[in-house]
Chains A and B, each alone.
Chain A
C-alpha cells in the first residue's frame, strides 16, 4: 500500500516523535542528573509564564461569567452561575486554554532556543565537552514543563474564579465567601482529579514536542523559525488530542 507524500511525512513525523519520546524514557532514570539545570528551567518556565497565564485566566473567568448570564437568566438560574462557571473552568476550559497558552509561550521558546543551539553547534560543543546534551537540555526541560504546567493551570484556575467573582458582582452583589462556597459545593472529587492529572500530560507533550523540534532542527537560521513555529502547532494539536483521550477515559471510568 502506498500513501500520498503528505501522509507519509506525517507518519514519519509521528514515528520520529515517538522515538524521541522513547529516547527520553531510556535516559530519564540514569545518572547523572542535571538537578541545577532542572530547577533553573522550572524557574524560567514557571515564573516567566506567570503574568501571561494570570491575565488569560482572569479574562477567561470574567468573560465566561458575563456571557453565560443572559442564558442563565432566561431560566431564572443566575444563582447557579458560580457553580456552572467553576465546573467548566476547572474541569475543561482552564486546563485546555492554559495549556494552549503554554504551548505558544513555552513550546515556541524551547523550540527556538534548542533550534538555535543546534544550528550554531552548541549542542555538539556540549557533547564534545563531556556533558550529555540530551540529558542536560531535553530531560531537564521536559521534566520542568511536566511539573510547571499543572502548577500554572492551578494558579490560573484561581485567578479565573476571581475574575468570575468580579463579573458576578457587576450585576448584583455576592460576597466572596458565598461565591467560594457555591463553587466548592458544586465541585466533586471526580471533577478535580482527572482535570489535574491531564495537565501533567499536557505539560509533557509541550516539553517533548518543543524539545524534539528544536533538537532535530536543521537548515540554518530558517530551521530555527520553522522549529519554533511547528513546535507551537504540533503541541497545540497534541493538547486537543490528549484532551479528547482524557475525556473518553474519564467517561469510560465513570468519573463524570
Chain B
C-alpha cells in the first residue's frame, strides 16, 4: 500500500462540509464532512446503500444536497450556474459504476464525446492524438473501432476511464471501480488507478467496499456510517481502530 503523507501544509483541493441529502424519509447523508488533499487517493468506505455514490454525485452536481457546502478548488459547487458548473466538470472526472459508455457509438466516438464541448478549438489530428494517447494509457489502442457491446467488462471499465481521462481532470471520482469484476481484472483496474495518480498527478476520491481495492489504492480511508464521516485514517490505522463499527470492515 501507498505510504500516507502528513496532512499538514498540504493543499486542500476539495472540501465537503456538513452535507445533508435525503430521498423522502431516507436520510442518506447527515452532516457529512470530508477533505481531499492534492495528489492523494482517498477511499470512502461504507456499506451498500450507505450513500457513498450519492456523495460523489453531489460533488459533480448530478444531485442537489439540501444543506451543506461543497468546495472544489475553493469554488462553491452548490448553486453554481450551468456554464461555471461545466467549467468545473472539466477539472473533475467521474468514472461511473456502470461505465456509462454510449452503446450507440464506437470506442473512438465515445472518447471524442467529451471533446465535443470542451475541445472545440482542437484540430482533427490533435483530437486523434488525444484519443490514441488515452487509449494507450489504458492499454487498449486496438479497440478504437469496436462497439462497447463487443468489449469485456474489464475492457469497458478501462475505456470508460480513458474517456474520463481525455480531459485530463485534476480530481477523479471513482464510483465503485472494481464492483462486478474478477480479482485479476480488479487488480488491473487498481493498477490503472495508481498509474493515473502517478502520470496525471490527480487527486482522487474512490468509492468502494472492495477491501482489496481499498488496501491497494488508498492513501487515506474515510468511513461513511449512518450518513456521517465516522472515522478517517490510513488503512492500517482503521484496521486496529477500537470501534467494532470501524474494524468490522476489515475482518
Contacts and interface: CB of A to CB of B under 8 A. Distances in A.
Given A121-B98, A122-B102, A122-B103, A128 B62 contact: yes
Interface in B185-244: none
A242 interface: no
A128 B60 contact: yes
A176 B96 CA distance: 61
B94 A128 contact: yes
Interface in B85-105: 86, 89-90, 94, 96-104
Given A116-B103, A130-B86, A125 B117 contact: no
A130 B89 contact: yes
A124 B96 contact: yes
Residues of A contacting B: mostly: helix
A125 B96 contact: yes
A122 B100 contact: yes
A190 to B, nearest CB: 43
B114 interface: yes
A200 B167 CA distance: 41
B116 A125 contact: no
A129 B62 contact: no
| Interface bin, chain B | 20 to 34
A117 interface: yes
Nearest to A40: B104
B89 A124 contact: no
19 contacts: A113-B104, A120-B99, A120-B103, A121-B98, A121-B100, A122-B102, A124-B57, A124-B62, A125-B94, A125-B96, A125-B100, A125-B102, A126-B113, A127-B62, A128-B89, A129-B116, A130-B114, A130-B116, A130-B118
Which 9 A-B pairs give the minimum distances between C-beta atoms?
Answer: A130-B117, A125-B100, A129-B114, A121-B100, A121-B96, A130-B86, A120-B98, A122-B100, A121-B98
Given A120-B100, A129-B113, A130-B86, 20 more contacts: A113-B104, A117-B103, A121-B96, A121-B98, A122-B102, A122-B103, A124-B57, A124-B96, A125-B100, A125-B102, A126-B102, A127-B62, A128-B94, A129-B89, A129-B114, A129-B116, A129-B117, A130-B90, A131-B113, A131-B116
Interface of A: 113, 116-117, 120-122, 124-131
